[in-house]
């Protein structure tokens, strides 16, 4: 009898916990998401549509995609190289390097932006040099690019390091004794073994690259139609009290988030299968 009372009690507790979790999730995550769509459509489809097709919005979307298209492959490469170096070789300063990879996570994005200003703005360290050669970095896309690169750097590396660490170098060494060259080893052995981890890292890297606000905001200069990325454009609209337009553009980011989550669970599903038995 006592036994069943205990299980009944734990069952009640369990349901309470689940209910509380769902409530919190709903309140803090789902509700805002739904609110974004409701606000966006408050003044009807036409306003929604117009907000997305306005020149400044198009340019912001274009810039955002372009920045991600540059930053994500670059950081996928950097991340791969860093993870490779850190896991397949033992060298002095290796621990320091692993810590440095995490730096962008540890530092506030605003600081990341300010550092680029310090280096490249007209009053910055290299300002005179850049001005002489007519190169614009700050308040132009190269600055946005640098800021995006900086804040998204750790995603791929962080995903790959533990994975490659756990796989060790056995398979690569086997490939070496079988006569494979470095290139073949990478494409035929290393990459297939880490492809899901890499994809996962790329996905998160992309989400951040498109959604980054702080660092980009510092270096962009908010030039409408030129240096505004989508998050910046939304902020500008909001500050101008164009709520519906702001939320219309925000739906794009919200959908990006949903897409990312969907792909993320798809990757988890497939990688779970391919890794079976190990």
Partner 1 sequence: MSISIQSIHKSFGSYLALDDVSLEVPQGSLTALLGPSGSGKTTLLRIVAGLDFADEGRGKILFHGENVADVPAGERQVGFVFQHYALFRHMTVAENVAFGLNVMPRHRRPSAAEIDERVKELLHLVRLDGLDRRRPHELSGGQRQRVALARALAIRPKVLLLDEPFGALDAQVRKDLRRWLRVFHDQIGLTTLFVTHDQEEALELADQVVVMRQARVEQVGPPQEIFDHPRTPFVYEFLGNVNKIPHANGEVRYVRPHEMEITFAAEYDAARDVLADVTHLFSAGPVASLSLRLGDGSLVEAEISRKQLEELALSVGDRVAVRWP
Residues lying near partner 1 in the complex (CB under 8 A) are found at 170-171, 173-181, 184, 188-189, 192-193, 274, 276-278
Cα separation, 57 vs 62, in Å, equals 8
Q: What are the C-alpha distances in Å from 119 to residues 50, 60, 109, 113?
A: 39, 25, 16, 10
Give min distance, CB of 168 to partner 1, in A: 9
Specify the residue, 70 or 176, whose C-beta has the smaller distance to partner 1.
176
Specify the residue, 171 or 260, whose C-beta has the smaller distance to partner 1.
171
Work out the angle at residue 67's Cα, subtended by the Cα atoms of residues 55 and 269, and round it to the nearest 5 degrees.
110
Long-range contacts of residues 99-104, Cβ cutoff 8 Å, at least 24 apart: 101/153, 101/154, 101/157, 101/158, 101/161, 102/154, 102/158, 103/154, 104/150, 104/151, 104/152, 104/153, 104/154
Specify the residue, 171 or 242, whose C-beta has the smaller distance to partner 1.
171
Specify the residue, 102 or 268, whose C-beta has the smaller distance to partner 1.
268
Give min distance, CB of 61 to partner 1, in A: 37
Cα separation, 184 vs 117, in Å, equals 42
Specify the residue, 189 or 209, whose C-beta has the smaller distance to partner 1.
189
Residue 149's CB is within 10 A of a number of other CB atoms, namely 20
Q: What are the C-alpha distances in Å from 160 to residues 33, 69, 104, 111, 209?
A: 31, 20, 17, 26, 18
Specify the residue, 269 or 278, whose C-beta has the smaller distance to partner 1.
278
Give min distance, CB of 259 to partner 1, in A: 27
Give min distance, CB of 175 to partner 1, in A: 7
Label residue 180 exposed, middle or buried (CB < 10 Å: 0-12, 13-18, 19+). middle
Give min distance, CB of 194 to partner 1, in A: 10
Give min distance, CB of 159 to partner 1, in A: 18
Give min distance, CB of 205 to partner 1, in A: 23
Specify the residue, 26 or 272, whose C-beta has the smaller distance to partner 1.
272
């Amino acid at each position: 009898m006592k036994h069943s009372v205990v299980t009944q009690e734990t069952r009640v507790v369990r349901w309470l916990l689940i209910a509380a979790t769902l409530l919190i999730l709903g309140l803090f995550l789902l509700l805002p998401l739904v609110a974004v769509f409701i606000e966006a459509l408050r003044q009807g489809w036409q306003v929604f549509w117009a907000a997305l097709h306005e020149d400044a919005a198009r340019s912001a979307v274009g810039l955002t995609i372009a920045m991600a298209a540059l930053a994500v492959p670059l950081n996928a490469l950097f991340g791969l190289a860093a993870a490779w170096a850190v896991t397949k070789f033992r060298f002095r300063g290796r621990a320091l390097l692993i810590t440095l990879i995490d730096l962008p996570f540890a530092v506030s994005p605003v600081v990341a932006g300010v550092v680029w200003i310090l280096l490249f703005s007209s009053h910055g360290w290299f300002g005179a040099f850049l001005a002489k050669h007519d190169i614009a970095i700050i308040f132009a896309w190269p600055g946005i690019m640098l800021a995006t690169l900086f804040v998204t750097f750790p995603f791929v590396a962080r995903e790959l390091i533990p994975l490659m660490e756990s796989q060790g170098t056995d398979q690569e060494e086997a490939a070496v004794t079988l006569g494979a060259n470095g290139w073949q080893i990478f494409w035929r052995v290393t990459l297939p073994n880490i492809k899901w981890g890499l994809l996962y890292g790329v996905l998160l890297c992309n989400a951040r690259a498109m959604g980054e606000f702080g660092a980009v905001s510092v270096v962009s200069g908010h030039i409408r139609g030129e240096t505004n990325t989508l998050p910046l454009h939304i902020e500008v609209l909001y500050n101008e009290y164009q709520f519906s337009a702001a939320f219309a553009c925000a739906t794009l980011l919200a959908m990006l988030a949903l897409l990312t989550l969907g792909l993320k669970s798809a990757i988890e599903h497939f990688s779970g299968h391919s890794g079976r038995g190990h």
